[in-house]
Structure 1
């Protein structure tokens, strides 16, 4: 499916994979493999940003994936995110959706909110929030309606 369909249909917290369709280079070609991995990987959908206008320039809507955390002994030093325009030529697929009853911890309210944690339930979300500093955080529970919203206008999120 396209990045536009991901933006339109897939809920935050879903795990996605994406590809450009090219074959994986052999391990011995490290530089080619590194380039290939930037266009063939996956991550958790953490943000959907609407189209924006800056002067005469129009920035298209985009999706952001959390690809990983790097650190040592429980301390995260680096978070890796990758943002894709809805006009991206990559093909996306949903690997896993958040379970019904799980709770999204969003950094701030509103349509431009960013997912900072996916908890199994509300109690886990509240406990996580006491250990992390997000003063404007909001919770959004994944309901059956959220999952059912994957089919809109006859289109299905595969």
Structure 2
């Protein structure tokens, strides 16, 4: 599906895979493999931003995928996030939607909400929030209404 469709129908917390449709090169071609990995992967949908119009620039609607954290001993050193505009030429698909009853921990970033954690239930979310120490985060339960949009334009969305 297109990036615009992901922006419109995928709820925050969904696991989204993306691809450019090319075959994975052999491991011995390290540069080609690195380039391929930048255009083929998966991540958790953590932010959606509407179009922005400013006097000096404009940007299309976009979404951000959290691809992973790297660190050692419980300390995160690097977080990999990739942002895609709805005009991206990549192909996207929803691999997994958040389940009903899971709880999102959201934080406001400007005018938008960003997913900082997806917990299995409210108790786990409150425990994580107490340990993490985010002062202005809010909890939002995943409902059946937002997960029910499985068929979009005659295609399965997940």
CA distance in 2 between counterparts of 1:117 and 1:42 reads 17
Instruction: Quote the residue 1:133 is aligned against.
Output: 133
Distance 1:40-1:152 versus aligned 2 partners, 3 A rule: closer
What SS does structure 1 have at the residue aligned with 2:113? Answer: coil
| Deviations 1:68-116 (CA, angstroms, capped at 9, x unpaired) | 0000011111111000001000000111111110000001288610000
Please show how residues 1-158 of structure 1 align to structure 2 within 5 Å.
1-108=1-108, 112-151=112-151, 156-158=156-158
Q: 1:109 to 1:40 in 2, by over 3 A?
A: closer
The structure-2 alpha-carbon separation of the partners of 1:152 and 1:136, relative to structure 1 and needing over 3 Å to count, comes to: farther
Whether the 8 Å contact between 1:16 and 1:42 is mirrored in structure 2 is: yes
Where structure 1 has 5 or more consecutive residues not aligned to the other structure, the ranges are none
Q: Report the Cα distance in structure 1 between the residues aligned to 2:91 and 2:143, rounded to whole angstroms.
A: 27
- The answer on whether the counterparts of 1:9 and 1:151 sit within 8 Å (CA) in structure 2 is no
* Most deviating of 130-139 and 7-16: 130-139
Q: Normalised by the size of structure 1, how large is the TM-score?
A: 0.93
2 CA distance for matches of 1:157 and 1:128? 30
Worse-superposed segment, 107-116 or 84-93? 107-116
Q: CA RMSD in A?
A: 1.8
Task: Flag structure 2 segments of 5+ consecutive residues without an equivalent.
Answer: none
Structure 1 runs (4+) deviating above 2 angstroms are: 108-111, 149-156
Deviates more, 1:147-156 or 1:106-115: 147-156
Deviation of the 1:140 alpha carbon: 1.1
